[in-house]
Amino acid sequence: MRVLVADDEKGLRESIAEYLELEDIEVDVAENGLSAIRQLEDEDFDTVILDLKMPGADGLEVLKWMKENTPGIPVLMISAFGEVSDAVAAIKLGAEDYLVKPFETEELLLKIRKAGEKRKLQKEVEYLRSTGAVKFNLKSGSPAMKPVMELVHKAAPSPANILITGESGTGKEVFARYIHSLSSRSSQQFVAVNVGGVPESLLESELFGYEKGAFTGADRMKSGLFETASGGTLFLDEIGDMPLHLQVKLLRAIQERKIQRLGAVRQINLDVRIIAATNRDLEKSVKDGLFREDLFYRLNVVRVHLPPLRERKEDIPVLCAGFLENINQKMGRSIEGLTSGAIELLNSYGFPGNIRELENMLERAVILAAGTELTPEDFSISSSPARRKAQGTLKDIERLAIIDSLARWEGRKTRVAEELGIDRKTLFNKIKEYGLE
């Protein structure tokens, strides 16, 4: 929790700050109303304590400004004995509560905790509204997925860190969200970051945040993703791409359950569940000195391995039904399903890009479809016996898929990578491997 104390009495504001910091509450102070407004413009707070009488801008003026510019932040007013009527007026303007000097520190703490809980609930509601907050209902008829689902349902309610492994496009983030939805943290935030997708120079500040003035361009305080996920789940995708020097800081955060923003002196307590994911062989990365062994064991408390789509073909109809519902809504179409021939065709394909490729393939088929059902002709997969025979091995399947896609997109590799559901680096490696340069 972060609190701003605005009072022109130096002794009072500093004593309040010292007391609250002993209770593990992060505190900033302002010596007058204008200073409070400047800090509210730059930074985010969970509760604000305002003295009624301050030079520059008094408590009521700051309160009015907050209701227009920072709505939702609870405000506690501090008044002298003869200012109770003004404090009541502040309540009518939207203040959460008030205290009359002199007051007991325990009473102040109680009111702050109450206001903080209200703010936390508001943030949860905002988050749930913004994300739709539907519970995931993952269904699978595949024997390969049965032990995976059993493990997920056992592990989700526990506080244990989870490592999800599997090829690119197997749905690792979907499963991370599913695990979050089954946990006691489901009403809190799920925060995801693709470690490999953030430039190394920005990754530390993205994860841990920074203080104003911590570096050139840091013109305001910024909370990191660890703080944003407080009480909820932080999903670290492509964890195998994390630089070694940041692995040390991540390990410390997990072990000590504390973080420190860049440029900060104080540490912030953490209450975050970590789910990490990778398509790499982390054990090999450990042996090669690319990944810390102690961090690996901290993350690998429970291992969930997602099999590739080619090993769970029974799930294709279920996945298609779910994707079609979303695609129809997004595109304003009303495709009812797939013909038996279309399902047979998809079952004959190897899906090197896994579930992500299937989704992209369905989206393209919906665009091309003339009828109310998807047919084999709507998919860019050859259904000829000769072609299916040629798809004897996974390498054959991958090579043919890349050749087809390169032809369709006239060599535009970014488009090819998007269609196949793989990143550009993987595509370039595959092109080199199969001699397609």
Reduced to 3 states, what is the DSSP secondary structure of residue 349? coil
45 φ/ψ angles, rounded to the nearest 5 degrees: -130, 155
pLDDT band for position 275 (cuts 50, 70, 90):
very high
pLDDT tens column, 173-212: 889 999 998 999 988 889 999 898 788 888 999 999 888 8
DSSP 8-state secondary structure symbol assigned to residue 240: G
Q: Which residue has the higher pLDDT, 206 or 217?
A: 206
Q: Is the pLDDT of residue 158 over 80?
A: yes
Q: Is the pLDDT of residue 368 over 60?
A: yes
Q: Is the pLDDT of residue 383 over 50?
A: no
- The whole-number pLDDT of residue 153 equals 93
Mean per-residue pLDDT over the chain, rounded: 85
| Mean pLDDT confidence for 60-83 | 87
pLDDT band for position 83 (cuts 50, 70, 90):
confident
Which distant-in-sequence residues (6+ apart) come within 8 Å of 254 by Cβ? 161, 274, 295, 298, 299
| Mean pLDDT confidence for 97-108 | 85
Q: Is the pLDDT of residue 129 over 70?
A: no
- The whole-number pLDDT of residue 402 equals 82
**Is residue 262 within 8 Å of residue 150, measured between CB atoms?**
no
